[in-house]
Every structure is written in C-alpha cells, then in structure tokens.
Chains A and B, each alone.
Chain A
Amino acid sequence: MTIHLPAAASAETVEKLARIVGKDGLSISPLSRILYSRDMYPVALMHQAEGVTGHYPQVVVWPKKVPEVVRVLKLARSLRLPVIPFGAGSGVCGGTIPVRGGIILDLKKMNRVLEVSGEDMSFTAEAGIMGQTLEMELNRRGFTMGHFPSSIYCSTLGGWVAARSAGQLSSKYGKIEDMVLGLEVVMPSGDILDTLGSPMGTAGPDWNQLVIGSEGTLGVVTKVCCRLNPLPATRRFASFNFPGLEAGIRAMRMMMRNGLRPAALRLYDELDTMLVGTKGDGENTGAGLFDYLPWERLETRLRTLAPGLINRAQRFVGRWAEVANKLEGLNRDGCLMILMFEGEDAAAPFEYENALKICDQLGGKNRGPEPAINWYKNRYHVSYKMSKVFYYGAFVDTVEVAATWQKVEALYARVRDAIRNQAFVMAHFSHAYPEGCSIYFTFISAAADSRKAEKKHKEVWRRAMEATLHVGGTISHHHGVGLSKGRYLVEEMGDMMRVLRCVKEAADPEDILNPGKMGL
C-alpha cells in the first residue's frame, strides 16, 4: 500500500520553526505526519484501516515553553498556516484533524505540575500533562482532581479544557468547566490571556468560560489552574434493579433534587443492563456482543476453509446487530443502576443511606454493591475494547447527548427509535445534575465495505442528531463538536451562531487556529 502524502512544510518554514523550537522540536517525517493525521474519530479510524486518512499536517511541532508557542503562532500567522493545538489525540469527533494542513502543535512536552496548594485547594499545571500522570501526582500529595474521563490514560489537561470534558464522577466533582479557576492562553495575535492571577474572578465576561470548550479555535491553552479535592476518606457502593427506565430516571432525579451528590450514578437501559449483567464489568462497547459467538475461532476456520465466506460473515455481523436490538424482550432484570458515594467520613454514608431510601421507595431492587464495584474496577476499559469491534469489520461509536429532566425520556426514545433500524443501540444515563442528565448511546453496526460503513455511520449520526435537536437536547455533553458535529452545532445554536462567529473572528481574524471545526 502506498500513501500519497501532500507536500510537507517548505525547507524555509522548517528552518524558521527550527529557530523557535530547535531541530528536535519538530518533524516532517511521513510517520509523524501520518500519526498526527487523525484522532479517535471512528470515520478516521475506518479510513486509516484502508491506509488513507486524507488530511495530513505539513509539520508537527513540540514546543517546550510558552514563548515558543507565542513565536510559532506569530510565524504561522505571518505565513497564513493553520495551527492545530494537540493534546493526546483521544478526541472522537475529529477535532484535531488538520483538514487544511498546517502545523500540529503538540503540547505534551509542556507537562509540568507547577504548583499544588493545599491552602487554596488548587493546583496549576501545564496543559500538556497527561491525565493519569497529573492525578497520580496529586494523589501523592493527598489530593484528587476528581476528573476521571475514560480517556484518562490518553488525554491531557489542555484537551479536557478544550473539549469541555466530563469525568465519570462528575455528579460529585463537576465537569472541567466547574473546576477551572484560571487559564493561560496564547491568543492567535501572540498576546497572552492570563486569568491565573484572579482565581476569584474579575469584572466583565468570564473569559475562562469562553475558552473552555473552544476546541483550539480561539487560543492555545498553555496553563490551567483547577480546584482540588481531598482524597476521599471513604467509599460506598450500591446497585439496584429498577422495573423500568422511568422509575430509574425518577430515582436519579430525586437524588439530585434532594441535594445528594453521588460520585457515580449510572442507569443502564434494558439492553445495556443485559450485557452489563452478563459480563459483570459494568461497562461495554457492544464488543461484549461478540464474546457470545466464537468469532475468532470461526474466522480462523473460515480463513482456511472458505476465504470468500469471511465477507459474508462480516455482513452477518451487521444484520445480527439489528436483530440484537430485539433482545430486550428477553430482559427480566429491568434496568440496572449503579451508585458510588465517596468523600469525608461523615457525609458519604449519610448520602448513601438517603440514596438507598429513594431507590427503595421507587421500586428499586437492591442488588448489593458488587455490580457497582465491578464497574469501578473496570471503568477505564471501555475505550480499549473498541478496536476489537473494528477488527471484525464492524464499527462502534458513541453519542452523548443531554437534556433537562423534563425532556430526558423523550430524548432517549427519539434517538433510539431514529437509529435502531440502522444499528444495534443501547444506552446509559449518567452525569446527573439537579436540572437534567446526559444519555450515552452506544451503537454498533457493520456494512459490506468501508465505503458503505462510512455512509451508514454518517446516517446513524444524522438521525441521532436530528432527533436530539428535535427534542431540544444538546448534541454533545462532553465529547465536543470537532469536525463531525459542526453542522449540527450550527443548527443547535441557531442565530446565536452569529455571536460565536463574532467571538471567533474577534480572536482569530485570519482563521489560523484549528480552522474548519465547530461549524466555524
């Protein structure tokens, strides 16, 4: 297979960049350019399986300090070269794909923890630090950030800020936007926006909240100050089976309404419950489906006996996924809810007792702590199982939307109905707030070839997004917009898109930073 790469950055540009970051601080090697041509956007993964991702950076740059970022931005601006800030590339919406080429600005070498203050209960770190490294560093000092996205091993602090990330324990600790106290951001002009010195806020608009979620389109986040939490002294787990989704959702809502803040609160729909229940690891990608059939053995046999049958088997996967939607009729357990409370000694047990009371009153059957403990143990496994699905020629993706409580049930029904004849779909409800929660749909499907798979994938997304917008939900709770949801963001925002464009043009009149994203 030959990959035809477009031209790399010119020798002159490379020379200029090398003067800023040194010769070791950049690369135009084909390998680097291919590696940085995609994130974890499933369509990009499908393309990669075929050997062509389509969009390649002209050069990858690894700055080590803020003045280098400033100079790279100034140079890029003078050369009209796009700059795509890059963390660890775990985004699933194509947010870092260099659709117009340009410079990938990988911040991972800016990875120091600069300050940890127990007195202020805050820390400041450089944006390129990896999530798990940061959390371990904070743990060593007796604190936790409380931010546990399933990508924690492969995402950076800056990436979290860029995409308005949510961790698995957000019901207690909040999303990243609730944690940030200050930022240092290099603006496209090369000016440095610095709110680190005013963690209690200043007059005027809250600039942190404009940068958070901007997905690298407004500035390059270089330092982040966030609040800290003490390491929890105690933890309590519980699980319940509810007769149906409605009762389970009601229980979630009542907990939040009554001021309880479970660290984890997840409710699985009937299909998800079946798979979780059988697998017992509390999280699945749909890959679990494949474990019921001896695919690997079957495939090996087929390869030797009748290679031509492989494609037909893969096609069968797609069909089977559709049939699998009907499995919920077999579900006798209703919907599983898992709960985890953590925190200070006095509060966690108190909240736990109250949550148990609410679940009991609403018809939940206590299943003890095990399912919740199992979930907790396996909570980061989900993302790493997905490749298996792709291996079988199928594809898997997740849609995370959110709505107020009044619309949550309609959102669930609409989205599911919209895509269930295209894909096997299951869902769980998590990230609860007093005013609503998010729904995390996992869908899995397959098609005869990658072109058809891509088409089907797009169709599923179109249906899911349109259903979401119709109900009045938001098209993303924590994955962001990136490349894949730009057009739906435009629909979600309506006339307010004008304001977002204005904010963008005010910061980046030449459209240097991460162009072509977020519907901008």
Chain B
Amino acid sequence: MSRPSPKTEILQGLKEIFGPNRVNDSLVRTLVYAQDISPISLLRARGGEKPVLPDFIVWPETVEEVSRLMRLAGQRKIPVTPYGGGSSMSGASKPIEGGIICDMKRMKRVLRLDEDSLIVSAQTGLLGVHLEHHLQRKGYTLGHFPLSHHSSTLGGMLAGRSAGVASTGYGRFEDMVVSLQAVLPDGSIVKTRTTPRSATGPNLNRLFAGSQGTLAIITRLKLRIKTLPPTLSFDSYTYRSFERGVRAARTLLQSGAHPAALRLSDPKETSQTLAGLEKGIKGHLLILIFEGHPGRVTRMMEGAGEICRDTGGKPRGEEPAAHWHQRRFAEGYRKSPVLCRPGTVMDSILVGAPWSRVMAVYEEMRNILSKRARVSATLSHAGMNGATITFAVTCETKVGSEVDLLQALWQDARHAAETAGGTFAPQRGAGVREVRDPAKEWGAAFAWYREIKEGLDPFQIMNPGKIGRGEGIGAGTR
C-alpha cells in the first residue's frame, strides 16, 4: 500500500475542517484565484504567462475554522494567502508560492451595531458596499468609499491601508478601526481592546494595517461610523494652473473648512471626469463636496467659496462635482478595456507629499513620466499637512515588451518622487516587487518588520514571498 501523497492528505485535512463543499482544487478555481488586478500581473497574463496556481481554495465561515486552518498549515508548512475581493493592485493576494487561498468572503456578517458608541462590528469578508448599505439603512455611514467599493472587503481594506474618495473628511480606513480580531500563523485567536483611545502601549491595530496578510488573518473589525449626513452639497471651480488649484486646496483645508471630499484634476483628467457633461468646461478642476448639518454646510461652503474665488478660481457650480460623484466608482471599470489591449500599458502611481513639496512632485513626476507615457494627474486624499497625487500613465509599446516598459515607468517614478521629496502612498499599498523596495522605503523599520514576521510566523506560511522575506512590497510574479 502506498502512502497517500501529501497533497491528498492536506486535502483530507481541509475537508475535515471545511466539509466537502468549502474546499476546492479545480483548475478553473485555482486559475481564477491566481490573479489580482495589478497591472503588471494582468500584462503578464495577457502575454500568456501562466501564473503560479494555488493548490486549494477554502472558504471559512467562522474564526475557529480559520484557526484550525492555520494550525493545519503550520503542521504541513504550506502557505496560506488571505483573500478578500481580489481587487488589489499590488499583487498582495497572489499565491506566489502556491498553497492555500483562504477566501474570507463567506465571513460577511455584520455582528453588532452599537448606536450609542457609533461602532459597527463586522466580519472581514464583508464587501465595503454591503456594509455601507447596511449602515445607511439604519441612518449611518462608514464614510469609506474606495474606487473598489463594490469589489473589496473590509479585511482587504485594512491589509492594504485603503483610502476612499472621502478620505479628506473621514480619514483613511485605518483611522476608522477601533479594534480587531485576528488569527496568528500559529492558529491563536487574538484581539485588541475596544476603547475610544488608550495609553496602553503601541497601537497594534496599526501593525496589522498595511501588513498585506503577511502577519495574520484579520477576522473581525470594529469600525467607527458616523450618522448619515442630512445634507450633501457640491461645488466646483476651475483654475488656470495646477499650482493655483493647489494653493486654493491648501488654503481651504488649512482654514478650518472640512470638505468630505476635495479633488483637483489637471485638464486631461478634467475632460475625462466631465465626459458626458455638455458644458465645455476646461482647465484645472477643483471639486468640493461638503456634508453634514445644513447650517454647518452652508457656512463652510461660503467660507470655501470665498477662498476659491480669492485664489483665482472660476465658479463652475455644483454640476461638475455632482457629475463626478455620481460616476466615481465607474472609473476603474472604464479603464479595463484599455488594459486588455495588446501593446498598451496603463497604471496609476500615487505619490504623497507635504504641501511644500506637492508642486515639486507634480512637476518632476510629469517631466519624467511624460518621456515614456501620457500622464494625467489628480490631487486627492488631501489634509492640513499635504496631499496625494495620482498619476495615471498610459502608453503604447511593442507587444511583448509591456512589462519591461511598466517596470521602467516605476523606476522613473521612484526616482522622480525621491528627487522631489514625495513618497509612494500607502493605499497603493504595495506595488509590485519589481518596482517597490521596502528595505529602501522603510529604512530601519524594515529590519524590525522582518524580525516581527519571524517571531509571529517562524515557518513563513503567511502569504510568503511578500514583504516578510524582503523581496519587495507586495507580490512579484514568477
């Protein structure tokens, strides 16, 4: 009698945990889960390169199942990659060393709504849009609206330090996290305490935020929510130059006005934003959205309007802002057909900078990137101290050399960002291994991170090949 192969044994073990229907190792399934939507892996897939396939996909429904999964994986030394909506653009959820994909989407319950403390507790496989619907029905909002709102999970948002289009008003996703429950690589279930604030050591929520599934599987989150604002008001202005728009945005945010969203786009982005709006509005468009109680909104809008006009803005009314707001989630989907065109390279590069360096970043990035690609820029995620600029790049090249070109673009971007004093933004978390270098970006923190990883995950089973091994942030492809 021959011993069953290790793979058969693991499958058997998984079935003991998940039953026959929540384990899958079919080719179709494993192919689907081998990909995320990072441009570099899409380019590779388009070029016919076969990605590394996971061996199994499992769908846990309880934290105990996740715990048992991790214990089994530890015994078998088999990798586990947590998976949410698969909308990552960083390669973070790609199972680059095979193993088990742990798809969290069946852990999607809203567990509790504490209306006094404005805290919602939910499992991490819940899609952002579903949580938001649940909350809005009860008169609340999370205020987190990433472009991937319809295709990303709470766990993924935390793992990638997501920022939504209303981050100016509501903060980034990690700001909303009050506490979390997680399963460590050894299977132990741990949680942070639910408290408004505390002075009891480091904020460990922030260790897991941005860890890209390399330290633990996050199973539950308690999130700060807000009452649904009774009023939503739009306004927009155009400027003769990006610089003038930047000055307006900065002055406005530092004046104490608190827009929920603020967005400044260059003429190219403006024309895309306003496509379908027959107004012929051109220029650098500043979009403002205010929300809250009517009196407060009116007061803030008046103050903001004054600043915008004083800084040379031409009032364009509410329509451009409302138009953008209505179509904000469609943006990502509009780009997909272009991405699939052979010979076309498309990506977006997010660079954050303090206000004093925002214009330098804008100029330097455009100068360098435009040598190889068409570039358009949008400023968002702005606050008192600075902002993020998203550079959308598109270019054509010989079929087959798209990946090389994309890598070259990222190298250029790194150089330009460094020269101008900006940093690649957290929410485009990860980026691909070939272009982002955590040892360089994090400095001494990188050695610290590796030791923490080693301590929590000595067998390197949590999402291996990503940041933990020092090969780069996010996944590479092989």
Contact = CB atoms under 8 A, between A and B. Distances in A.
Indicate whether A and B interact: yes
Interface residues of B, number: 84
Contact of A506 (B199, B388, B455): B455
A485 to B, nearest CB: 8
Given A122-B385, A163-B199, A494-B191, A203 B255 contact: no
Contact of A203 (B188, B226, B295, B436): B436
Given A119-B356, A200-B353, A406 B116 contact: yes
A119 B355 contact: yes
Interface string A429-446: 001011111100000000
Interface in A439-483: 472-481
A94 B384 CA distance: 36
A474 B296 CA distance: 34
A186 to B, nearest CB: 9
B292 interface: yes
A506 B385 contact: no
A201 B196 contact: no
B282 to A, nearest CB: 29
A48 interface: no
A500 B386 contact: no
Contacts of A489: 200-201
Nearest to A353: B295
Most central of A121, A437, A507 by chain B CB within 10 Å: A121
B203 A213 contact: yes
Contacts of A403: 195-196
Contacts of A406: 114, 116-117
A438 B296 CA distance: 28
A196 B198 CA distance: 24
Interface stretch (A11-19, A302-310, A325-333, A340-348): A340-348
A224 to B, nearest CB: 14
B155 interface: no
Nearest to A503: B452
A169 to B, nearest CB: 14
Interface in B418-447: 421-426, 428-431, 436, 438, 441-445, 447
A203 B438 contact: yes
Contact of B444 (A192, A210, A500): A192
A213 B201 contact: yes
A212 B255 CA distance: 28
A205 B207 contact: yes
Interface string B317-333: 00000000000000000
B449 interface: yes
Contacts of A187: 444, 448
Contacts of B352: 198, 200-201
A205 B449 contact: yes
Given A164-B198, A406-B114, A476-B198, A350 B299 contact: yes
Given A198-B352, A343-B256, A405-B117, A438 B196 contact: yes
A502 B455 contact: yes
A368 interface: no
Contacts of B425: 200-203
Contact of A495 (B119, B190, B296, B454): B190
A258 interface: yes
B256 A344 contact: yes
A214 interface: yes
Contacts of A199: 354, 385-386
Given A203-B430, A205-B449, A506-B454, A198 B423 contact: yes
Contacts of A294: none
B118 A435 contact: yes
A253 to B, nearest CB: 7
A197 B423 contact: yes
A166 B441 contact: no
Contact of B201 (A214, A257, A258): A214
A207 interface: yes
Given A218-B202, A506-B451, A506-B452, A204 B356 contact: no
Interface in A5-51: none
A404 interface: yes
Nearest to B199: A164
A142 B174 CA distance: 32
B388 A200 contact: yes
Given A435-B118, A437-B196, A506-B455, A191 B295 contact: no
Contacts of A475: 198, 200
B178 interface: yes
Most central of B207, B208, B211, B428 by chain A CB within 10 Å: B207
B250 interface: yes
B12 interface: no
Interface string B186-214: 00111111111111111111111111100
A135 interface: no
A428 interface: no
Interface in A196-241: 197-207, 209-215, 218, 227, 230
Please list the 7 inter-chain residue pairs (A to B) with the smallest Cβ-Cβ separation, ordered nearest first. A200-B352, A506-B451, A436-B196, A209-B206, A474-B198, A164-B199, A404-B117
21 contacts: A191-B444, A200-B353, A202-B424, A204-B441, A205-B208, A211-B202, A213-B203, A257-B118, A258-B293, A343-B256, A431-B197, A435-B118, A435-B224, A438-B197, A477-B199, A481-B199, A495-B190, A498-B184, A499-B207, A503-B202, A503-B204
Given A207-B448, A403-B195, 18 more contacts: A166-B197, A193-B444, A194-B443, A200-B352, A200-B385, A204-B445, A205-B206, A212-B203, A213-B199, A215-B201, A227-B384, A258-B293, A259-B292, A403-B196, A435-B118, A436-B117, A505-B451, A507-B448
